[in-house]
Structure 1
Amino acid sequence: MAPMIAPSLLNTGVEGLLHPFNVAHSRTQLFSGFECAGIKKYGIDLLVNGKYFSRFGRQNGHFQRLTAASKRLDETTGNSVEKPELDELIAAIVYQAEIEGSLSNAFQRISTEDWSKVLSNVGKKHWELALAVFGVFKETSSIFLKPNTGVQKNEEDREVVQILKVYTTMVAVLARHGRLEEAEAILTEVQQLGFGLDLFLYNALLGGYAKQGMAERMLDCMLEMQKFGIQPDHVSYEQLVAAYLNSKTPELKLALEVLDHMHSHELKASQKTYSELIAACWKKSEVENADKCFSAMIAAGHSADSKVLVKLMQLHAQKGNHTRTQQLFQMLKQAGLKANSTCYEQLLLAYCKAGCLDQAFTIFRESKQIAKPSLIVYNILLDACAKAGLHLQAMQLYNEVCGSGLKANAITYTSAITALVRSGRCAKAEELYKRMLRLKISPTAHTYTSMIHAYAMKGWTRSGHEVCVTMRSNCQITAVAYNAMLHLYIRGEWYTEAANILSEMDSEDIEPGVPGYGVLIAACGDSSPEIMPLVRTLETSRWETCRIVYQLMFLPLYESCESLLEGSIADLPKDVMAFLQKLAQTKDAEANLSFYNSLMDGLWRKGLKRRAKSVMVAARSLLPWYKRPKLTKMKLLLDLGGLSLGAAQVAVLDWLSGVAQLHEEKSEQQMVLVTGSDSSDKLVVKARKGIKKAVGATLAELGSPFAEDPQGSGRLVASVYDVVQWQAVYGISSALMLLDNTQPYITQ
């Protein structure tokens, strides 16, 4: 016998199974009002219609017709009872409703065991007919001519066992058709007749509850089973799993807890149960739980069918888990299952999501040997090419779609346009966009956003503005679209429109993202009066980041800009430092780097060098990964990779100003300046281009000894001795100091 349910279920609604039986849940009360009314209501008088025959199916040529009908029944139900006379009897009942006439001559020719087979097969088509047959069985069975009083003592008596089997079959038929009240009435009748209830009867009823998703009713029933000394077995618990999955709001967590209980008590679940759980995990996109169920399924000795493997592939493909998706793909092939186009599609998706485009194109070529690629397959590859900025591959795929007879849709065009924009082919992107409009293919918000970025990159603000107007009338504006419009208007110096967009974002509770803040902060380096509408919007914005930027860029922090003190953390107000600390703790590296880069760009452009250094020192203090000088035995290195123009200039001057004091005795060391950028994303304004040129120009203007490293491009080198001598001879220490040469204050 199976043990009771695991204690882990105590807090999830199934605690009743561990508590003593509650009389309020007794079968008598549970079934009160039904008694045997269901049998009477659905008896022979109600169901038998049409012509009766005095002999069993042999008058007027009906034997041949019923034999053919029995074959149809086998095809419908999927099995045969392996007795021709039973096949004919079942066919007569199912197709002719010949209950009384058909059964009149069958009483002595079929056994009690045969009654179960008749009920089961008739019940697969009509539960009402099965219930009527059950009524006839009770009227004619010898056991009812001599009713038993009290609990059956001789449980090995075959006739009694078969009688209970007939009852169990009838309960199963009713439960399968959702006739739970009638099924419950039969269990009450079994009790009233004095037959002992058994596990099979209860499991038949539990199956009906499971199909209806009635988990709580099942728990009451399982509690009652234990009261009668009947412990739920693996079938009982599997049906409880099904009940949780079939409820109006599927309870996957509880279903998995029941499975864990089965595992802990060595109750083996069937392949069907594992498959249903994996399907439920698939619906909720729970990859980890699906993998656990699959592993348990294999450990239990079951084999996975193609449906299970494909669902697992889909789960992992959506997450970009290409290694696991490939393993499942190979598992499917090794099991002798056919890898269809869906399998290849999921493997392709996994590689595309992971950015492994070489493998994706390999799978794409293999899949062409299986079937002609669908538009979905092309769009998956096009989207991956768009994200990677691979415009040549994207256009090749686009041309294949057009030449294959497939009809390119909005996704096809949008992906191709985005790939072109990311690679700077804005004119070609505009050409595709206009073709899309001519073909009356409605652009998506993503299409409009890509075109707005394209026009922003080219400085074609008016064309971009026209797209913005069209987008507003056709689409709901997304956060990405708002950021794109900020990019467009700020790059075009349409500051009033940019201020309106920022105000609208405030009212819509949409915070500028990393790109949005990047362009906003960079714009603050503009000292022209035209920027004032945007400045005022920053000042009153609901977003703290905007207000901090306003404070740093436009309000005085020091008593005099002529101060000879260089910047430090102490210069920054407490609320600014508190914000920077929160930024470091709550945002990722990309968001932090973009903020500091944009801020130092703006400060450098405004001549607020001391303030820029204060911000740099704060970044180095709060962010362990932020670029800073590195000292080795023979080298003093500063890597500018990833920094913006302003941030790089501040870092270089600060680095040089400290050399004389720190390295007078280490003249044999080399100073190495690494220039360059670690970003290829042209849609996000980070102003990292031209660092080598800008820094090189500054050093040349100061007459520094730095020169191109002959051993590697992108490096400027000089000895510490030469740098110290350069500073001493030319007296340029003051030129290296990071001081504010202007006041940031904006006249009210």
Structure 2
Amino acid sequence: MATAAVDLASSAATGILNLGKDNLRGSSLKNNERVSVGRRNLSAGLVRAVTGDGKTVMSTSRWVYRGRQLISQTVLQPLPSASKADGPWKRDLLELIADITAAESAQNVETILQPWVSVLTCEEWNKILLEVGHRDWSLAMDVFKVFKTQSPLVKESPQSESSDSLDFPAENLKGRSEQRKPSPLLRGYTTIVGVLSRKGRLTEISTLLLEMRDENVEPDLRFFNGVVEAYSNLGLVSYVSQVIAQMEESGISPDTTTYELMIFAALRAKSTQLGKALQIFQDMLENSMEVGVKTYLKLIDACADAGDIVAADEVFMAMRSSGHTIYSKTWVKMIQLHASVGGFKEAEEIFRALRAAGIPPSAAVYDALLLSYCHAGCLDQAFSVFREYKLATKPSLMAYNYLIEASGKNGRYEESLALYSDLCNNGLRPSTVTFTSLICAMVQAGHHEKADRLYKKMIQKGVPPNVYTYTAMVRAYTACSWTRLGHEICLKMKEERIQMGTLVYGSLLNLYLQGRWFKEAAGIIKEMDRQGIEPDVAGYGVLVSSLGESGEEIAPVVKAMQASDWEPCWVATFLVNTPAGAEAEPEIAIALEKIWSIFEEWAAFKDREANRSFYNAIMDALWRRGLRRRARSVMLKARDLLPWYNRPRRGLTSVLDLRGLSVGGAQVALLDWLEDIAKYSEQSTSMVIHTGSNDPGVGRYNSGRGKGVGAVKQAVTAYLEEMCSPFRELAELGPGKLQARTELVVKWLSRRDSKDALRLHDYV
């Protein structure tokens, strides 16, 4: 019959919701008739809706139909037989609850309960409080008031001894609350406090505490836990601590529930107190207290949010030792946590432990493991796991996206394209992330036309680009000098009202300045300044380097930079745009001293990349404007202010390391080195110049005239060849290194034409 009851309850919903007057016309039972259901009487309409034939059902229904609403209730024990045939027992207790929830005032609640007051048991009162409170806490308070004032259970129950304070700290309570069976009134208070706790009604709870003091009702552990729960739900850690102190004063020891509520309170606090929660957790373990699954999961989530991997591992290990069943979601959480910091070895260990526990890896587990390998750049292991993944189940789109992005970042763009084809063949639809990762891979590999084709396919398939897609395409169009196409991207982003930050604006500045669209670049500068967005390192590098352009065309950019709130731009425009000449030297000397003081401030608080980028960009612009002496002054000041500045130091004349310099900066350093080389020619037999690969030193964007791989090498090599220098690239030294015998270099520098061309002077 139990199974039949469950089936009855589960099928009642559809039948009862569709119950109407038409359902009753074809039945022999009338609407006002009642049918025996066990020891209860239910309306004929309800029974007919449940069973279809109006026959007697030998089970207690879990469903009550009131008007046109279906009310689901907890299964209640059948009421005892009534002594009077026409008494209130003809009504079902669940219908009583439905009547209360439909009441419009406290007076109505009292009227509805009046016939029941003398016959309801303590358990039934508490169940009514719970069910009504679940829907309306204020109606539950009205029910509790009737229970308190009219129920014979309360009147017949002996009152507890007096307590002298609201907080129940009286010594005569110690050791007694746990031993004594709770009175009906205390049970009622405990239930209503639980109801109010779940609704966050702290004011009403405080009122009940006052009532308990006046009525001399002694709290027990269960009651205290109800109060702790109320404060815990709102993260009020200090209030929880006060209740714990009151419990100890009353001689009541906190139990497992209390400790877990304390943990939840610490985790829900306005400023999460993870350390306190972990300390309580450790106390529970040391005292051999059983920790619930929910507590473990909440702690792991909190550790993950705080990025505390060590603590998360400790909680996870304790959970495994506790014997609790650990479901796939928790394993995935732990693998993802380690994956987020590139901890692929730890992720591997968790994956092996999952298998040892006999849990077959789900798609989410494989995804998390792939993420760990991809973040760590371990592509071979990632592809190995991916092959196993494909044998076990169909890989998710997320897995493909992880691998496509990682392959592109590691320069393996062919594999990115192969994964894209495999993804489509498996019936998956490429997402925005898929196309964006592919486009970024092509841009990084220098295949800008392929990036353009992918972008057009993305639009054709109706996949919406995001800000990262647009930024990658701007970079691609900049590299191809397709400024108009990049400009269309800019207009599209503005049309779609995409939020553009520092990175996007920097890309647009690079696009317009490289394409010599100076008016548009000036507009971007004004827009950024108006929105309070300062350029990043790369953006400043591009702006400052652009000052190397001469002529009236660059004037809008210069004016926009001077009018901005960006101090680096003021300094750069003065240094580059103040002409050389004897009459301007005194003024320039004074201004330079002020600029050097600004450089000193930057050396103290700006990071290395920012300082290096700024100096390189300034030297690049000054070189291109023919201000060689001024460029060398900037380089020498950088040496003085920044001990780590990796320019050639005095005394190390046999080797010149130009890596990390812009094109202009490299040529300034070369001439400065060659100017003093004759003084130290006796100390070495050969000279070596390290040009390295292209590292413009101004952030992500190339500056100067050189573009592509080896821009510094190309510029320096071309300059030395033009001057007929003896420096040559030797295969045995490796790429990017030029060498010459010292005696040949000295002889070359002694020629008049070389002296004039290599002089570090300013061209007026």
> What is the TM-score of this pair, normalised by structure 2?
0.72
Q: Render the CA deviation track for 1:576-614: whole Å, top value 9, x for unaligned.
A: 223333443444333333333332222222222112211
Letter in 2 for 1:313: I
Aligned to 1:144: 156
Aligned to 1:525: 548
Partners of 1:298 and 1:79 in 2: how far apart? 39
Aligned to 2:727: 706
Tell me if structure 1 keeps the 8 A contact 2:621–2:664.
yes
In structure 2, the CA distance between the partners of 1:158 and 1:415, relative to structure 1 (3 Å rule), is: closer
Partners of 1:452 and 1:384 in 2: how far apart? 21
Q: Does 1:506 align with 2:507?
A: no
Tell me if structure 1 keeps the 8 A contact 2:694–2:710.
no
In structure 2, the CA distance between the partners of 1:159 and 1:358, relative to structure 1 (3 Å rule), is: closer
In structure 2, the CA distance between the partners of 1:494 and 1:204, relative to structure 1 (3 Å rule), is: closer
Q: Render the CA deviation track for 1:647-680: whole Å, top value 9, x for unaligned.
A: 222222222222221342x24x432222221659
The percent of aligned pairs where both chains have the same amino acid is 32
Aligned to 1:287: 307
The one of 626, 639, 649 equivalent to 2:645 is 626
SS in 2 for 1:441: coil
Q: Please, which runs of 5 or more residues in structure 2 have no aligned partner?
A: 1-31, 48-55, 64-71, 81-90, 98-112, 134-138, 164-170
Residue 488 of structure 1: how far off its partner (Å): 1.7
Residue 460 of structure 1: how far off its partner (Å): 1.9
In structure 2, the CA distance between the partners of 1:193 and 1:67, relative to structure 1 (3 Å rule), is: farther
In structure 2, the CA distance between the partners of 1:184 and 1:606, relative to structure 1 (3 Å rule), is: closer
Tell me if structure 2 keeps the 8 A contact 1:519–1:598.
yes
Residue 555 of structure 1: how far off its partner (Å): 0.8
Aligned to 1:344: 366
The one of 412, 423, 430 equivalent to 2:452 is 430
Partners of 2:267 and 2:555 in 1: how far apart? 60
Partners of 1:577 and 1:483 in 2: how far apart? 27
Aligned to 1:396: 418
Residue 513 of structure 1: how far off its partner (Å): 2.3
Partners of 1:713 and 1:105 in 2: how far apart? 99
SS in 2 for 1:177: helix
Aligned to 1:677: 693
The one of 190, 196, 219 equivalent to 1:178 is 196
Letter in 1 for 2:373: Y
SS in 1 for 2:394: coil
Aligned to 1:358: 380
SS in 1 for 2:428: coil
Aligned to 2:291: 270
Residue 628 of structure 1: how far off its partner (Å): 2.8
Tell me if structure 2 keeps the 8 A contact 1:320–1:354.
yes
Task: Report 1:113-512 matches (<5 A).
Answer: 144=156, 161-164=180-183, 170-178=188-196, 196-211=218-233, 213=235, 215=237, 217-230=239-252, 232=254, 235-246=257-268, 250-254=269-273, 256-257=275-276, 259-260=278-279, 263=282, 270-271=291-292, 272-282=294-304, 285-288=305-308, 291-292=310-311, 294-296=313-315, 298=317, 302=322, 305-306=326-327, 307-388=329-410, 390-476=412-498, 477-512=500-535
SS in 2 for 1:162: coil
Which stretch of the first structure deviates more once superposed, 417-426 or 251-260? 251-260
The one of 598, 622, 647 equivalent to 1:603 is 622
Q: Render the CA deviation track for 1:310-365: whole Å, top value 9, x for unaligned.
A: 33433443444444444443443344444322222223233333444333333333
Aligned to 2:10: none
Q: Render the CA deviation track for 1:77-114: whole Å, top value 9, x for unaligned.
A: 99999x9x9xxxxxx9875769999999999xxxxxxx
In structure 2, the CA distance between the partners of 1:122 and 1:504, relative to structure 1 (3 Å rule), is: closer
Partners of 2:749 and 2:533 in 1: how far apart? 50
Partners of 1:622 and 1:550 in 2: how far apart? 21
Q: Render the CA deviation track for 1:610-631: whole Å, top value 9, x for unaligned.
A: 1221122222333333333379
Letter in 2 for 1:546: C
Tell me if structure 2 keeps the 8 A contact 1:601–1:646.
yes
Residue 543 of structure 1: how far off its partner (Å): 0.8
Q: Render the CA deviation track for 1:491-547: whole Å, top value 9, x for unaligned.
A: 121222222222222222222223322332332222233222222222322211111
SS in 1 for 2:725: coil
Partners of 2:744 and 2:541 in 1: how far apart? 38
In structure 2, the CA distance between the partners of 1:736 and 1:625, relative to structure 1 (3 Å rule), is: farther
Partners of 2:258 and 2:192 in 1: how far apart? 17
Cα RMSD after superposing both structures: 5.0
Partners of 1:562 and 1:140 in 2: how far apart? 105
Tell me if structure 1 keeps the 8 A contact 2:478–2:510.
yes
Residue 183 of structure 1: how far off its partner (Å): 7.2
Aligned to 1:580: 599
Which stretch of the first structure deviates more once superposed, 214-223 or 422-431? 214-223
Q: Render the CA deviation track for 1:105-128: whole Å, top value 9, x for unaligned.
A: 999xxxxxxx77x88888776669
Partners of 1:269 and 1:625 in 2: how far apart? 56
SS in 2 for 1:658: helix
Aligned to 2:86: none
SS in 1 for 2:595: helix
Tell me if structure 2 keeps the 8 A contact 1:168–1:204.
no
Letter in 1 for 2:559: R
Tell me if structure 2 keeps the 8 A contact 1:172–1:207.
no
In structure 2, the CA distance between the partners of 1:54 and 1:506, relative to structure 1 (3 Å rule), is: closer
Residue 550 of structure 1: how far off its partner (Å): 0.6
Aligned to 1:647: 665
Partners of 2:177 and 2:521 in 1: how far apart? 88
Residue 738 of structure 1: how far off its partner (Å): 4.3
Task: Report 1:654-669 matches (<5 A).
Answer: 654-664=672-682, 666-667=683-684, 669=685
Partners of 2:156 and 2:443 in 1: how far apart? 85
The one of 713, 723, 729 equivalent to 1:692 is 713
Partners of 1:142 and 1:701 in 2: how far apart? 108
Letter in 1 for 2:400: Y
SS in 1 for 2:689: strand
Tell me if structure 1 keeps the 8 A contact 2:723–2:754.
no
Letter in 2 for 1:482: Y
Q: Please, which runs of 5 or more residues in structure 1 have no aligned partner?
A: 1-49, 86-91, 108-114, 564-568, 744-748
Partners of 1:529 and 1:145 in 2: how far apart? 99
Partners of 1:56 and 1:103 in 2: how far apart? 23
Letter in 2 for 1:347: L
Tell me if structure 1 keeps the 8 A contact 2:129–2:144.
no
In structure 2, the CA distance between the partners of 1:690 and 1:133, relative to structure 1 (3 Å rule), is: closer
In structure 2, the CA distance between the partners of 1:464 and 1:205, relative to structure 1 (3 Å rule), is: closer
